[in-house]
Chains A and B, each alone.
Chain A
Amino acid sequence: MDFLRDPFGFVIQEYTGWLGGLGLPAVWVDIIAKLTGALVLATGAMLFVVFLIWYERKLIGRIQDRFGPNRVGPWGIFQPVADMLKIFTKEYITPIGADKFAYNLAPILAVAAVLLLWSVLPLSVTVVGTDLNVGLLFLVAVGGLGEMSYILAGWGSNNKYALLGAFRLVAQLISYEVPLVLSALVPVMLAGTLSVNGIVQAQESVWFIVAAPAAALIFFIASIAEIGRSPFDLIEAESELVAGYNIEYSGLKFGMFFVAEFLHAFTVSMIFATVFLGGWQGPGAAEIPVLGFVYLMLKTFVVYFVTILFRGTLPRFRIDQMMNLNWKVLTPLSLALIMAMAIVGGLTRELPVFWQVIAFLLVNLLLLGATDQLMRLSQSRKTKSNLPMQPLRKVLTTSTKHGAGE
């Protein structure tokens, strides 16, 4: 019965109990148990990517009115396995003049940076890698390691296109880190803690996406930019950049970047689900921990589905549009949001939770509406100033000249 209610916690307990029975000191039991946990979690996450790739390709196929992969296995579910086998057998090529150390370190670092994110995410009530008291900051800080891996890849390849791609990507990542951190501060303020587990527990009565939809929206957009997915896939702009920082990679090293990208996409969906959608919270999740895991996976897949919808439907941003969106819209909005939420939170401290949430919601919607109006205003002004009568007259005169010439 206990196994059915909480299989993961049960296995962990049995395992640590067995380790303790071997007569090892408590410190070693702890270290070995944590190492095993990390190994299992990392392997599980990497194997999970196989399924993710199939899911995403199938969905994108449906969006574009294709079948998607459908040859290997039922519904093509073994297509990624076949791709993996192909990638394993490919030749490793190291370009001439490459910095071998940086070149080989980059793919490892890329995967490690994503896997590190899983160490602080609570998967259910009982299963959490480490309940760090600065967990949310840790999630952001680890992103810096990913940036480092892209720089290493771009620089180590000794290829100017790879370097340009890395520059572009890192500039984008650093810029979008600002609204990401600022919007993540709103749930931190609401929960009163930086610990990821604490944030999940604070969402017992109401999810933070209800209390702070504007923060959730900013966080979602910024995290899509962080994973470099469409519409922020500027490094993938084939016509300009020859596919970015990883062009010199082949075989498994390329595969590791590929895995890192897919796993990162899924992991940020999971972070969003944890921070804004209540994580493992749900009816009965506290009593039956395995239900919490199911809830978390369901929520994550909903978020992941939306990111794939974005990828399948939106065209790519131009680089100036991307930077404009970040610095002129998202960053000021998140700054204003933090101030507004702090003020409203201070004013409504004595009210019951229901009215407090209503007040938060109203402030969020007000700010979103104001941003929308401001964007419309600047858009209409831009179109007015960009299309004065002068060019129109020029067009008319040239066309008449043209006509006269005939």
Chain B
Amino acid sequence: MNGLQVVFLLAALVSLFSAAMVVSARRMMHAALWLVLTLMGVAVIFVTLQSSFFAVVQVLVYVGAIAILIIFSVMLTRRVMEDHGDQILPGWRAAGLVAGLLFAIIVGFLALWQGFTTMLVELPADADNLLDLGQALVSPQGYALPFELASVLLVAALIGAITIAVDRKEDQHG
């Protein structure tokens, strides 16, 4: 077992544990903070995959924007300081069963695939991938159309979110 594997195992254990805490924590705020830890763990996993660009983007987008947005809405949708009562639906056992079954099915099918045990070796250079990705995203033969669509989607989501969340006067009586 080498250093990289130790790093991977640590990051994976931390992310899985904190992901479990995200779905089971009683207080919403704590769940959101555990979510941040999970996202950081996933960023470390990206680094072990030699994708430092996506590791940084993960921290920038998820931790810097999405997690903070989630924390904001946790704070805005709180009735009292503490979240009383059960945070889990009564039928959680069925949900757990579904999730567990799905996990078993995914891993079972993957284990049948011959490439499952491939060792990932170090790629030649990290920086070239970034350049290739940038060119692929804007080249008409590559992903120019999906990229533009994604931009339109983002703008639409931005406008939609503002329209939905805006505090209109008639809403307060309605």
Contacts and interface: CB of A to CB of B under 8 A. Distances in A.
Contacts of B64: 140-141, 143-144, 147, 174, 177
Contacts of B137: none
A97 to B, nearest CB: 7
Contact of A137 (B36, B56, B72): B56
A132 interface: yes
Contacts of B21: none
Nearest to A154: B75
A140 B60 CA distance: 7
A290 interface: no
A27 B71 CA distance: 39
B60 A133 contact: no
B130 A144 contact: no
Interface string A97-125: 10100100000000000000000000000
B53 interface: yes
Given A134-B130, A147-B68, A141 B52 contact: no
Contacts of B16: none
B75 A134 contact: no
Contacts of B57: 137, 141
Interface residues of A, number: 27
12 contacts: A97-B81, A99-B29, A102-B29, A137-B53, A137-B56, A138-B56, A144-B68, A148-B36, A148-B68, A155-B75, A167-B75, A194-B130
A199 interface: no
A375 B75 CA distance: 37
Interface string B43-62: 00000000011001101100
Contacts of A163: 75
Contacts, number: 62
Q: What is the predominant secondary structure among interface residues of chain B facing chain A?
A: helix
Nearest to A138: B56
A170 interface: yes
Q: Name which of B52, B68, B127 has the most chain A CB atoms within 10 A of its CB.
A: B68
B65 A134 contact: no
Interface in B48-98: 52-53, 56-57, 59-60, 63-65, 67-68, 71-72, 75, 81
Interface string B94-131: 00000000000000000000000000000000110010
B140 interface: no
6 shortest interchain CB distances as A-B pairs: A144-B64, A141-B60, A141-B59, A137-B56, A133-B127, A134-B56
Contact of B130 (A133, A141, A147, A177): A133
Interface in B13-44: 29, 33, 36
